[in-house]
Amino acid sequence: MRARLGHTARAIIWLPAIVAGVAGVLVVVALHDREAATPLEAVAILLASAAGFAFDDPAAEVLAASPTTLRQRRTARLALLGAPIVLTWLALVAAQGPASWAEMWALAAMFAGLLGLSLSIAGVAGRRSTTGRGGIVAGPGLFVLVIASTLIPPRWRPLPLGDVPGGWTPIYVRWSAAAAIGLLVFLWSSQDPARITPRLWIGRREAGSSAMTDQRRA
């Protein structure tokens, strides 16, 4: 297990996470005198975008036939890269200092939502890509979702950055929902491409049998 994790750690692309962490420190230092939400929202987007690179695997095609499933490989990569990203986030939150526990929980929900959406985008993009790499799409995709959300009236805004009518509760609920949706999409996109459900397999077998019967009749 230790050797496998070591090989996985060496195959992970760490540069985006390092760059995002350094940029996050600079943002917090530059905007430390402002309200906590302003710099920490920017930091959350940076770190969440970097997390999408966890799934980029140069050996994806070679490992596709291995006994280890795609979901297991992605989970191991996410655990290795996600731990320092989350620790960096917590350190920057502590350094910035939210004004209250309510704001702290809102920021935590926001970070979880952004992280879930980034992983879902990277997971789907990696599944559709011929190289199995979708990390480069996570950042722009996340940015587009956040910008599109700002175009919706605050009352219905799905990804709120800042205050919305109703206080803290809508912020908690909407970002938690974003995290849950991102997790579900990530799990779906992490199914092995060659996986065939029993119902689909039976349907294909019946279709094949029907085709052979038609050929014999012809």
Return d(Cα 102, Cα 57) in angstroms, integer. 38
Domain count, the chain: 1
Share of residues in the chain with pLDDT > 90 (%) = 41
CA 178 to chain centre: 11
- Does 5 score more than 70 pLDDT? no
Whole-number pLDDT of residue 161: 87
The band of 204, judged by pLDDT with boundaries at 50, 70 and 90, is very low
pLDDT digits (tens, 9 = 90+) for 15-27: 999 999 999 999 9
| φ, ψ (nearest 5 deg) of residue 64 | -60, -30
User: Residue 130's pLDDT band (boundaries 50, 70, 90)?
Assistant: low
Q: What is the mean pLDDT of residues 26-44?
A: 86
CA distance 29 to 39: 9
Q: Percentage of residues in the chain with pLDDT exceeding 70?
A: 77
Chain segment 38-85, per-residue pLDDT in tens: 889 999 999 999 998 888 866 555 455 455 677 888 888 888 898 999
Give the tokens for residue 146: 């956040």
Q: What pLDDT is recorded for position 62?
A: 47
User: What was the pLDDT predicted at 33?
Assistant: 77
The pLDDT assigned to 212 comes to: 45
Q: What's the number of CA atoms in the CB half-sphere (13 Å) around residue 181?
A: 13
User: Domain limits at 74?
Assistant: 2-217
pLDDT grade for 35, boundaries at 50, 70 and 90: confident
| 3-class SS string, 119-163 | HHHHHHHHHHCCCCCCHHHHHHHHHHHHHHHHCCCHHHCCCCCCC
User: Which whole number is the average pLDDT over 104-121?
Assistant: 94
The per-residue pLDDT of the chain, averaged, comes to 81
When mean pLDDT is compared over 49-53, 187-191, 199-203, 207-211, the highest value belongs to: 49-53
Q: What is the pTM of this model?
A: 0.80
For residue 99, the tally of other CB atoms under 10 A from its CB is 10
217 pLDDT tier (thresholds 50, 70, 90): low
Q: For 137-160, what is each residue's pLDDT tens digit?
A: 888 999 999 999 999 998 899 999
